[in-house]
């Protein structure tokens, strides 16, 4: 894998890049945020937890290690060098535990139960 996580930090595995013949100079890695579509209780159905939106913008991972403030992301690494310039070379999904967002979810569950 070209990326891995520890806590809320994502790390680009430079050794894995090199094994495939790439470096941080020949690829650009970025991430898109994946969010659940929130539904009111009146519209809540079987598919509610399966509905997601993926952001159009891809936030660049500028450093080997980057703290991620989101819960779910899609990482893409794109070639910046000829002959594959612009091609997506790597895709990976990651989930992160975000304590501050977990508190919001806990409050929503309490509200729904009442």
C-alpha 31/C-alpha 95 separation (Å) is 12
CA–CA separation, 23 and 85 (whole Å): 14
Across the range 29-40, mean pLDDT stands at 91
pLDDT band (50, 70, 90) for residue 55 = very high
- 90 vs 104 pLDDT, higher one: 90
Dihedral, CA of residue 35, residue 40, residue 44 and residue 47, to nearest 10:
-20
Residue 15, phi then psi, degrees to nearest 5 = -65, -45
Chain-wide mean pLDDT for the chain?
A: 90
Q: Above pLDDT 90, what percent of the chain?
A: 70
Q: How far apart are CA 72 and CA 84, in angstroms?
A: 28
């Amino acid at each position: 894998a070209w990326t891995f996580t520890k806590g809320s930090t994502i790390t680009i595995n430079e050794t894995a890049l090199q094994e495939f013949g790439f470096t941080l100079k020949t690829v650009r890695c970025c991430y898109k945020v994946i969010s659940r579509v929130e539904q009111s209780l009146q519209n809540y159905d079987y598919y509610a937890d399966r509905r997601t939106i993926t952001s159009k913008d891809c936030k660049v991972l500028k450093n080997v290690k980057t703290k991620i403030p989101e819960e779910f992301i899609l990482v893409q690494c794109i070639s910046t060098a000829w002959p594959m310039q612009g091609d997506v070379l790597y895709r990976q999904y990651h989930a992160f535990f975000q304590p501050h967002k977990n508190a919001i979810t806990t409050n929503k569950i309490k509200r729904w139960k009442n």
